[in-house]
Amino acid sequence: MRLGEILTTERLRIRTWQDSEADRAFFHRVNSDEAMLEFYPFRRSREEADDLFDLMLSRIRDDGFGWAVAEDRESGAALGFTGLARIREEVIGAGVEIGWRYVPQAWGKGLASEAARALLVHGFDDLGLERIVAFAVTRNVASIAVMRRIGMRARPDRDFDHPGVPDAMPQIKRHVLYEMLAGDPRL
């Protein structure tokens, strides 16, 4: 999402990451928690997460938008990693990705879909994007359900083996790709 902007939904406040201890600690959690990373190849130490956090903040400054944190509107508690960000993997292709990763306590409540709908509006209406994609491991039925729920359409001709996943992890190598174009109906 756009640098410095705050999106609000019925239950969430979505904001740009800040260079604070609270945000760094939460970023480490979403990059080290086993349950949250079932479909990811790497768990990061705090030092590795801090390095990735610095890279993410740099990219947000360079691009003018990027990943964000989703907070509970009432309590202010951080619930998830979400947002829109430029794709940097050549195999996937150029464009902008929408993504989400929530704490287990937030699962099954529709929060990822709620945030994603607001982010699609922001991406198309505020950022003027023409195309937004999402991708997930083929077995990640929860994320694929969110993609369908928000109106994205499957592009089986664009499914791919993720270049960032080691060949020794074939169970999470293959990814499905979904997309939405600016003129597509939004759910």
The 10s digit of each residue's pLDDT in 42-53 is 999 999 999 999
**For a pLDDT cut of 90, what percent of the chain falls above it?**
91
Predicted pLDDT at 91? 64
Rounded CA-CA distance 68/89 in Å is 20
Average pLDDT over residues 67-85: 97
Has residue 167 got a pLDDT over 70?
Answer: yes
Contact 81, 100 (CB under 8 A): yes
The 10s digit of each residue's pLDDT in 121-131 is 999 999 999 99
What is the DSSP pairing of strand 131-137 with strand 153-154? unpaired
Average pLDDT over residues 138-155: 97
Q: Token pair of 86, please?
A: 């430029």
The helix (H) or strand (E) run that includes residue 26 is: helix 21-30
Predicted pLDDT at 2? 86
Q: 6-181 has which CATH code? A: 3.40.630.30
The 10s digit of each residue's pLDDT in 16-64 is 999 999 999 999 999 999 999 999 999 999 999 999 999 999 999 999 9
The domain spans of the chain are 6-181
